[in-house]
Amino acid sequence: MPKVSLPTLSPSSVQASERAIARYEALVAAAGWPHVQPVERLRLGMRHPGVVSLRERFAVVGDIDSHAGSSDIYDSYVEAAVRRFQARHGLSVDGIVREQTFNTLNIPAQVRLNRLKTNVARLRTLSGGFAQRFVMCNTRGAN
């Protein structure tokens, strides 16, 4: 799980984003990730056909081990992957997949890649431009 206390920006942000771009370029070349059909809610212990595509989606990006199974049961492996995904994308971290999590899951890989490229350009213009102290606000994560 990402730690909330870690800074959003650091001297390694540009390099980490560039590595992510390389991963996303490979994902886009391999046709991205599967669409996850939204349902009202998925949570621990549920059995639903949509859990299979959720597992596939998380396996593509490495949030869940591909050997963790392919069943339609929302188990602890799926819940942990959902929690990692929610934390990484500024969503409420509760392990329950609702509309907002489905919407974020289904943003195409190409769109994510384009955002990463835009943000790397922004990060490069900021490098070295911060004073000793500054305030960072994650408005996306302030749900």
Q: What is the pLDDT of residues 26-60, one digit of tens each?
A: 999 999 999 999 999 999 999 999 999 999 999 99
Please count the structural domains in the chain: 1
What pLDDT shows up at residue 45?
95
Residue 95 lies in a domain: yes
Residue 62 lies in a domain: yes
The CATH number of the domain holding residue 58 is 1.10.101.10
Residue 133 lies in a domain: no
Residue 134 lies in a domain: no
pTM of the shown model: 0.79
3-state secondary structure the chain: CCCCCCCCCCCCHHHHHHHHHHHHHHHHHCCCCCCCCCCCCECCCCECCHHHHHHHHHHHHCCCCHHHCCCCECCHHHHHHHHHHHHHCCCCCCCCECHHHHHHHCCCHHHHHHHHHHHHHHHHHHCCCCCCCCCCCCCCCCC
Token pair recorded at residue 85: 């995904």
Residue 56 lies in a domain: yes
Which regions in the chain score pLDDT beneath 50? 1-6
Angle at 7 between CA 133 and CA 5, to 5 degrees: 110
Residue 17 lies in a domain: no
